[in-house]
Amino acid sequence: MQNVLNSVKGTALGVAEYLTPVLKESKFRETGVLTPEEFIAAGDHLTHHCPTWSWAVGDESKIKPYLPKDKQFLITRNVPCRRRCKQIEFVGEENLVEENDQDGGWVETHHYNPDEAGSSGLEDKVCEMKLDSSRIEDEQAADMDDPRNLDDGDGDGGEDDDEDGAAIDMDEFEESGLLETVDPSNALLPAPNEKPNPVASSEGDGDSVVRTRTYDLHITYDKYYQTPRLWVIGYDENRKLLSVEQMYDDVSQDHAKKTVTMETHPHLPGPNMASVHPCKHADIMKKIIQTVEEGGGELGVHMYLIIFLKFVQTVIPTIEYDFTQNFNITNHK
């Protein structure tokens, strides 16, 4: 049902965007929105400071006349995503610690329940280490500094070696067939007609290989909301397109199918892409602008996309795209 509502809403917004006139006058400081020219300026700043981003054209039939032909939207490719959101999101009860604290106490959100601790708990992740006493004794015996490898002190040590017997005849040794004994250095190699065992490669086999997904990220200009809009599309390690549900695994569960929905890309044909809905972007940016100004600073419009990428990171926290310049909200000049 939610998907149907999102589809209807997306169609309605598409019509509204078509009818909305292009913003000509800057209202960045008053409302947190951008004109197309300001979007281009912010995009140029992003590509200059973070070269992994670049401008793209898209489908010729979907070019927006209010944007330069060679700067329709921004794109970065092959962004790694090594974990699923469920692996970093904590779901459970909070423990109140130090209730009498003057600040109202603090809560411990990550704790272990001793009743649930068992073979599947933290102890399973700690490898048990045992010392083999027989191996230690052998190693000690091989140590030339060990007393057991020294003479008995009676001066007869050298004579005992001479009395062990005559040297072995090498011709007899070769005829005995002992030279054909397996060489320990080659004992681990498979025989010529033996097939090596295949190495497990699937996630379900329980191996420790990290299966890294990758994402392509796009930033477009939304004419209706007059803000940037983020789009993502994911691939597995074989560059095979992820399913919709797999992509939702990499979205914060507070935002999946709500703030993030599957939509038609405004510049590209093909499958729908996951998009972070821009309805709150201007409000968030307006609050950031006010905070900077209250701290005595001034936020330039060219910084818009740098900040934009940082606050949408909370929606897709495991997609590791934010390598942009640092931004200090309290004293930015």
* Element spanning 293, H or E: helix 281-294
- CATH class label, 28-90+211-315: alpha beta
Question: What's the pLDDT at 255?
Answer: 85
Give the global pTM: 0.62
User: Which candidate in 81, 85, 127, 279 is catalytic?
Assistant: 279
Q: How far apart are CA 287 and CA 295, in angstroms?
A: 12
Question: What's the pLDDT at 170?
Answer: 63
DSSP assignment string, 46-86: HHHH-TT-EEE---GGG--TTS-TT-SEEEEEEEEE-S-GG
Largest CA distance in the chain: 108
Q: Find out whether 319 and 215 touch, Cβ atoms under 8 Å.
A: yes
Question: What tokens were used for 102?
Answer: 């003057």
**In a structure prediction context, what are the per-residue pLDDT tens digits for the chain, which is 333 residues long?**
445 554 555 565 566 665 678 899 999 999 999 999 999 999 999 999 999 999 999 999 999 999 999 999 999 999 999 999 888 865 444 444 444 544 444 444 444 444 444 444 444 444 444 445 554 455 554 455 555 555 554 545 445 555 555 666 666 656 666 555 545 444 444 455 555 444 334 444 455 566 789 999 999 999 999 999 999 999 999 999 999 999 999 999 888 888 899 999 999 998 999 999 999 999 999 999 999 999 999 999 999 999 999 999 999 999 998 766 666 655 555
What residue segments make up the domains of the chain, in order of their start? 28-90+211-315
Question: What tokens were used for 77?
Answer: 């490719």
CA angle 129, 133, 134 (to 5 degrees): 125
Question: What three-state secondary structure class fits 109?
Answer: coil
For 286, other C-beta atoms within 10 Å of its C-beta total 17
The beta strands (E) that lie in the chain are given as 54-56, 73-81, 95-97, 106-108, 213-222, 227-235, 260-263, 273-276
279 a catalytic residue: yes
Question: What's the pLDDT at 10?
Answer: 54
Q: Find out whether 38 and 304 touch, Cβ atoms under 8 Å.
A: yes
